[in-house]
Structure 1
Amino acid sequence: MNHSNIEFLNILGIPGVTTNMLSSPLSCPDSTTPPETDWESRDGKRVLLLGATGTIGMATARALLRRGHEVVCLVRPRQGVGSTQADTGLSERLAGATIMWGNATEEDFWKQADLAHARFDAVVSCMASRMGSPQDAWRVDHQAHVWALQAAQATGVKHFVQLSAICVQKPLLAFQHAKLAFEKTLIESGLTYSIVRPTAFFKSLSGQLDRVKKGKPFLMFGDGQLTACKPISDDDLADFLVGCLHDVSRHNQILPIGGPGPAITPLAQGEQLFALLGKPPRFKRVPVGLLDVIVGVLSVIGKLIPAAAEKAELARIGLYYATESMLVWDTQAQRYDAQATPSHGSQTLFDAYARWVKGEGAPDRGEHAVF
């Protein structure tokens, strides 16, 4: 494999690719605060928030507090050097909320006496596996949520708001099947539910900003028009999630949601970045078959080496996002339908690009890089 292909895979995040529906490390918000809604003055609820340390979870905590809800954030204690400072920083970022320390992936946590006697009106979960590997997906996207749901039922919670992913419409990957399995359990639980399936996140579409700034070409599969999405910002998605608590039209519903404006392709994303930087467009087209080869090789090696099998799954995730649009899937027409994909909010990806190009709040993607 030549150097350019290795560089391309690093941008893809392979190994290290993750779904664009996963919780991510703490970072600054990627957008401005959305306007107040007409139900903000209503009585607040006591809400247990899962996944509060991700960018979506952090935005959801802010949205809940802004609307007068009492927020308890379940957070796993950090281990190792610097953990105390990290926990202090987290407390500052979640100022106004109560932090409950515990590990959602441990069954014993959900059975402890303090939690069993806690009173919550609702659970809002932004929790998700970090890497999307099969073991992690079934441990977090499914099992941890099942335990949370059982605890919610036992303590009288009435409403469970679940952040899922629009890509579960065409499940081919372990994390998609894990999410769908919990969705089914939640629907059958008897609790009021709101299952929110967002499209692409701004952060997941920021990966080539530095590359283009340095004068390198924008990488895309094929002609850059194989896929399209309607990206939604952290704050707009958080506003939609919190709105599920009061908007009865969102109760007992599966809710696909995207951001404002038309669907955009990778080609359009690249063109906009070059225009904002005042640079002539430069694109490098990469054949989808490259990922097919990588998946095949890693799958064979994975029969002997477990670590390679996990990387093969991560490569499959990369292949999925390279070939599938993040839009509502029309099962009858067998195509993605941008017009049928609902929009929410006011913040567009291109507005975010303009801010990031100026150096204003560009997201830190860390280990959760996605092409």
Structure 2
Amino acid sequence: MSRVALLGATGTIGRATAQALVAAGHDVVAMVRKEPALHLPGATLRRADAGDPASLMHDGFAGEHFDAVVSCMASRTGVARDAWAIDHTAHCHALALAERCGAAHFVLLSAICVQKPRLAFQQAKLAFEADLIASGLRYSIVRPTAFFKSLSGQIERVRGGKPFLLFGDGTLTACKPISNRDLAAYIAGCLIEPERWNKVLPIGGPGPAITPRQQGEALFGMLGMEPKFRSVPPGFLGSIAGALGFASRLIPPLGTKAELARIGHYYATESMLVLDPATGRYDAAMTPETGSDTLFDHYRAIIAGEAAPDDRGDHAVF
């Protein structure tokens, strides 16, 4: 058993990770920014703002000893100001406190998309990954593929008789989606599995890799409906991003909308799989797998009313 400081426990992955850590027998202290309307059985909740170094030090870590720090913390929007404040600066404060409180291990939830960084939040994540590696602390950097919630936004749309929206023909990208539960178990396992120490760890759910068209075809099949697709040109969001970026020179607040459009374009055109450095192509076979939950089982559970529709937050494209 380890005493673990958990950051980012209010997010969907953070909540699942808290449960996985508690189930593994760890003493978990979850540090949350707001007074939590959050129930994490077996974990201790502390109100501490990770974006405020003084709050994190005095209210969160409180001068106590921790064996490990696990961070599932991430910026909500991914725009530059938010990304650098949370994905980099707040994590740097947490790293300094981890060292001060005697932690031997820092487990970081990152993202597989940092392999091809073109966005502010990717640069911020990579900057902290480099800081963590250089710190000398034992680390595990987990880079998951697509989450179920990011691929479940069209269920109600299709059930209501509307077409499934695709970029291009729907085969431009692919991923090995991973569930909250399977990813949380993998993150918790980093504390006790030496082969996951001092490594960058890309991870997906059980294969095979699936494309957006395959997601749509499966969804129509589950609903007993004839497949009906509508194609959106892949460059559509890119054009919007360019126009908003130009307009932001005169109206600065449009810069945020431009960055969100760039994020949407990135996910519409890049696969969430391991990028083969030798070929520069995404490779499903090189993308490790874990767990047993499948995206299509998740679809079935939502359709049957056994699971609530996913709250996709600020990163929803459709």
3-state SS of the aligned residue for 1:62? helix
What is the aligned counterpart of 1:363 among 289, 309, 312? Answer: 309
Within 5 A, what are the aligned runs for 1:273-312? Answer: 273-312=219-258
Does the CA-based 8 Å contact 1:199-1:257 persist in structure 2? yes
1:307 & 1:169 partners in 2: Cα distance?
29
Which structure is higher in RCO with an 8 Å CA cutoff and minimum separation 6? 1
Instruction: Output the aligned Cα RMSD.
Output: 1.2
What is the CA deviation profile of residues 47-86 of structure 1, one whole-angstrom value per residue up to 9, with x for unaligned ones? 00000000000000000111111000000125xxxxxxxx
1:333 & 1:172 partners in 2: Cα distance?
19
Q: Which residue of 1 aligns with 2:285?
A: 339
What is the aligned counterpart of 2:175 among 218, 224, 229? Answer: 229
Q: Which residue of 2 aligns with 1:158?
A: 104
Q: Taking structure 1 as reference, are residues 114 and 60 closer, same or farther at Cα in structure 2, changes over 3 Å only?
A: closer
| Mapped pair 1:314 → 2:271 | no
| Mapped pair 1:46 → 2:6 | no
3-state SS of the aligned residue for 1:104? coil
Does the CA-based 8 Å contact 1:232-1:260 persist in structure 2? yes
3-state SS of the aligned residue for 2:313? coil
3-state SS of the aligned residue for 2:30? strand
CA shift, 1:345, in A, is 0.1
Q: Which residue of 1 aligns with 2:166?
A: 220
| Mapped pair 1:64 → 2:29 | no
CA shift, 1:161, in A, is 0.2
Q: Which residue of 1 aligns with 2:136?
A: 190
Does the CA-based 8 Å contact 2:49-2:55 persist in structure 1? yes
Does the CA-based 8 Å contact 2:264-2:315 persist in structure 1? no
What is the CA deviation profile of residues 15-74 of structure 1, one whole-angstrom value per residue up to 9, with x for unaligned ones? xxxxxxxxxxxxxxxxxxxxxxxxxxxxx1110000000000000000011111100000
Alignment length (residue pairs): 317
Using the size of structure 2 for normalisation, the TM-score is: 0.97
Does the CA-based 8 Å contact 2:46-2:60 persist in structure 1? no
- Consecutive unaligned residues of structure 2, counting only runs of 5 or more, are none
Does the CA-based 8 Å contact 1:207-1:369 persist in structure 2? no
- Consecutive unaligned residues of structure 1, counting only runs of 5 or more, are 1-43, 79-86
**1:169 partner letter:** Q
Moved more, 301-310 or 356-365: 356-365
Q: Which residue of 2 aligns with 1:136?
A: 82
What is the CA deviation profile of residues 304-352 of structure 1, one whole-angstrom value per residue up to 9, with x for unaligned ones? 2221001100000000001000000012111000000000000000111
| Mapped pair 1:260 → 2:217 | no
2:70 & 2:195 partners in 1: Cα distance?
17
What is the CA deviation profile of residues 205-246 of structure 1, one whole-angstrom value per residue up to 9, with x for unaligned ones? 010000000010000011000000000000000000000000
Q: Which residue of 1 aligns with 2:33?
A: 76
CA shift, 1:363, in A, is 3.0
Does the CA-based 8 Å contact 1:205-1:370 persist in structure 2? no
What is the CA deviation profile of residues 92-130 of structure 1, one whole-angstrom value per residue up to 9, with x for unaligned ones? x21211011110001222343873521110000000000
Using the size of structure 1 for normalisation, the TM-score is: 0.84
